[in-house]
Amino acid sequence: MGVTLLTDMAFGILPCNAMVSPGANGKRVPIRHLLCFKTGSSKRKKCDDSNDTITDLVDDAYSSGRSEVPGTQEDDELTKTRKALSEARAKQEAIQKERDQLIEELARSEAKQKEYTATILHDKELAISELEAAKSLFHQKLQESVDEKFSLESRLVLAKQDAVELAVQVEKLAEIAFQQATSHILEDAQLRVSAAETSAAEAAYQIEKQIKDATEGTISSILEQSKDAIEKALDVAEKAGHYATKAVSAFGDGMNPVEKIVSLQSENMKLNGVVNDLESQLLLVRNEVDKLKLELEQVRQQAHASEIRANEAEKALLGFQESGREKTLQQEEEIKSLMEKLKKDASERKKSATKALKAELESIKAAIEAAKETASSRDTAYLRRCEALQRSLKASEDVSKMWRQRANLAESLLVKERPLVEEDKDSIYVVNGGRIDLLTDNDSQKWKLLSNGPRREIPQWRVRRIRTIRPKFPPRKIDVAEVLTSKFRTLDLPKPDEVWSIAEEKLKEGDTLIEHVIEKETIEKKRKALERALQRKTIQWQRTPEPTILGKFSCVIKNQELGPGERLCTLFRVKFQAFNWESWRRQWYLELAPKAADLSQSGVTAVWLPPPTRSVAAQGYMPTDLYNLNSEYGTEEELKYCVEEMHSQDILALGDVVLNHRCAENQSPNGVWNIFGGKLAWGPEAIVCDDPNYQGRGNPSSGPQDKASLQLSAPNIDHSQDFVRRDIKQWLNWLRNDIGFDGWRLDFVRGFSGTYVKEYIEASNPSFAIGEYWDSLAYEHGNLCYNQDAHRQRIVNWINATGGTSSAFDVTTKGILHSALHNEYWRLIDPQGKPTGVMGWWPSRAVTFLENHDTGSTQGHWPFPREKLAQGYAYILTHPGTPVIFYDHFYDFGIRDIITELIEARRRAGVHCRSSVKIYHANNEGYVAQVGDTLVMKLGHFDWNPSKENNLDGNWQKFVDKGTDYQVWLRQ
């Protein structure tokens, strides 16, 4: 005699098709169970025949007359069980209805919240547009007044062209003063005129003094000469008188007086000749003195005429200045009135916008409170469901105890007291948790459950969450072979190491408990995300400066439009390459996730993660099955955990996607590896026909027609095929929506056209995209050429092919920095005065970097000079474009503090990817540039500071000082 009883794993209810043999006649009668359950779901169904109960089993088992079990007690117990199950089902339906209502309320609240958000954004855009219109009107009025002022100045200058040379100089100074349109320049011009007049007077006085000194010197010398001559004549006369006295005395003594007289007359004649000569010289000197006096009078007349002209010029200048002041004051009054009006309008708009924003914030807060209340009610309902399940499970345990007792009795009847008949030798009795089972064939549901065993284990982090809320389910045996080979039918329960828990099962659709867990986690994530968004908006609103006539965002962008897909927040990003060539050797996702908070505090806003796809090469750049994200860097679950950690710190996650090539997993009949596996099972038609190694049957490559554009180590994908583009777009959207990536780093984009990149970006809508367009720079005789326009033009052409939807790595700037930082700073300025890389032509699409996993790390294909790393980061972190920091430099090279300090300087100065650059110096000694309006930086040993530059106004304070390496100043 044999009994077939198939049990449910959770509740131990007999199945509908159980059979029992009465023994006397050998016939088996079917026993219909009252209710059947499907494991893991909340659905219950009644058996076809509800009149046959377990009482028939007991009656047939005791039909031999050996023992007897009362049936009334069993009917009561079955009735209670049926009643309890119907109540549980009714409660489950009520809970389901309540859940649907809560989901509908949540959907309505989310829709209302989206509507509120759209309204706020619309009002904000209207306010910004109005401010921009006011700004343009003000600029227009200001330009008109300036043009009118310039026209008046030109007329005045033309009217004074015939003035003296001093007046011409004054007019030039006045013209410069009016061009600057400031009063202090006019005062400076007046001071210069006064100085010029003083200089002229001093020059005239010096000339007069020189003439006077020369005249007086000449006259004094002549008088001295005359005096000397007269004294000589007097001496001669005195001597002559003395001789005459002697002659008289001699005459008196008897000498000959005639000879003496003759001699005296001769001497007297000589003296007369000398006197005549002296008189003639005196006349000549007097003539010269008269001439000098005449010249002095002429000089005095000229000086007087110059003074008269200077007075006239001063009077003209005063009149000119007075008229200019009157017109300037009039224009200033008009401008002041216009500015007062604009300020009044702006303040009114600000008040209205602030009021509207406050109202919207209040509504958002109310929506959040409602969402919190909804979540709380959901939690309460969820706890109620758990309590109901626990009560149901407790009732099931009580029923199991009762059936265990009955099974003991039945086993004693079946094993000890009744021998097996010949036809039942192949029957195997199994007592599983107090329930009698008979395994007779491979098609039974019990056999399938035992054969399949437990499903694949889920990650530990989800196991921990499930264990916090899961009830205790009855154990289950998993070793079918042990059951089949056992000679004894024991009722002992299995040991703990022989059973498995439902908490370790793979999640399955239809599991009510698991659906509640997932639903609760989803609601909690949305609530936290909404709170973070509200907190960021509140902080941003509180930190927003007072609006001026130029608008709230005038300090960010002036007269520039955002590009396709570009958002305002993308302008200020600093990216971080979060891996190197050897990162795959460690559990990288688990090692990188804890660094999210550190990177966020350092100023990083986006991280570039390694290729996520399973790859032939460990580094990830030879992908196979695109949907298999269990790579050398970690599992798919670990990747999701890493991305979630980055998002929790408001850091974007960029995925490194390889679209140019893909490794096949199978060979064609020709032995060529061109048959792809996995979900995207492509064939040779997905490979370009000009790939020489893989016998592709697609169209030719859309990249540049050279060997460098072909990735020869793997089949090049033909992106002109519709099915290829469709599959890639679906894959990218899967990475965005299911994995959580925010943007892309596109590997080896030179291999295919940028138009396909545009299509992929528009389909996946990333926050940011970077293309790796790698091309060789121009060299001559082994030296880097100064002109690299052709190189950066090729990169710009690729960006333009994407419609501006993607950025590109500024390889030009990297190559130029290698040479420029070795005392060749003149390489950093092009003939137009702009930076020489892609940064100088299209800064908002230029992604600057010094090293990456290819150029540096253990590959070292093109390493940046290590001693120049600080200068290199000082350049890219203070200039426009989007800078990228390499992992090795930040964590391994000991320059983390330097990089963090430069990021802080960039943040304080408001430098973004579109900031303007004005280069003051670029030579062998150093490089000086002003970036935006509030930052000035210097490279090299060039002796310079802002006070030495005439065109730099304002108060500048030194923020970073690294001596001859670099210095950074910020405007106060």
Distance CA 88, CA 390 (A): 11
Distance CA 598, CA 814 (A): 27
Task: Name the one residue in this structure whose structure tokens are 């960006």.
Answer: 799
856, amino acid identity: G
Rounded (10°) CA dihedral 335, 336, 341, 342: 70
CB-based contact 748:772 (threshold 8 Å) = yes
Q: Catalytic residue among 772, 810, 824, 851, which? A: 772
- Tell me the C-alpha distance between 748 and 183, whole Å: 59
Torsion angle, CA of 913/918/923/926, rounded to 10 degrees?
-70
SS3 739: helix
Contact 74, 54 (CB under 8 A): yes
Distance CA 406, CA 319 (A): 125
Residue 718 is among the residues annotated as catalytic for this protein: no
Q: Among the residues of 748-809, which ranges form H helices? A: 754-764, 789-801
DSSP string, 440-453: --TTSHHHHHHHH-
Crossing angle of helices 896-909 and 869-876, in 10° steps, is 20
DSSP result, 293-336: HHHHHHHHHHHHHHHHHHHHHHHHHHHHHHHHHHHHHHHHHHHH
Q: How many residues does the chain have?
A: 972
772 in active site: yes
Q: Three-state secondary structure along 477-504?
A: ECCHHHHHHCCCCCCCCCCHHHECCHHH
CA 64 to chain centre: 85
Integer CA distances (angstroms), 614 to 234, 418, 584, 608, 680, in order:
131, 61, 12, 18, 13
* Structure tokens given for 902: 């430069």
Please give the structure tokens belonging to residue 399: 């029923």
How far is 185 from 177, CA to CA, in rounded Å? 5
> For residues 637 and 635, what is the distance between their CA atoms, to the nearest angstrom?
5
Q: Which residues contact 199 (CB under 8 A, 6 or more apart)?
A: none
How far from 740 is each of 72, 650, 767, CA to CA, in Å? 61, 13, 12
The CA-atom distances, in angstroms, between 278 and each of 225, 255, 265, 267, 558 are 9, 36, 20, 17, 90
The SS3 assignment for 879 reads: coil
- Do 629 and 614 touch, CB atoms closer than 8 A? yes
Of 56, 197, 747, 901, which is the active-site residue? 747
The span from the CA of 756 to the CA of 776, in Å, is 23
Q: Which residue has the tokens 């017109």?
A: 327
Name the burial class of residue 578, with classes exposed (0-12), middle (13-18) and buried (19+) by CB atoms within 10 angstroms of its CB. Answer: buried
In degrees rounded to 5, what are phi and psi of residue 690? -95, 10
Helix/strand/coil (H/E/C) assignment for every residue in 742-756: CEEEEECHHHCCHHH
Distance between CA atoms of 617 and 658, rounded to whole angstroms? 13
* Neighbouring C-beta atoms of residue 306, cutoff 10 Å: 17
Structure tokens at 633: 């860097």
Which is it for strands 743-747 and 652-658: parallel, antiparallel or unpaired?
parallel
Q: Are 904 and 965 in contact (CB under 8 A)?
A: no
Residues 267/291, Cβ–Cβ less than 8 Å: no
C-alpha to C-alpha distance for 760 and 806, rounded to whole angstroms = 10
Catalytic residue annotation: 747, 772
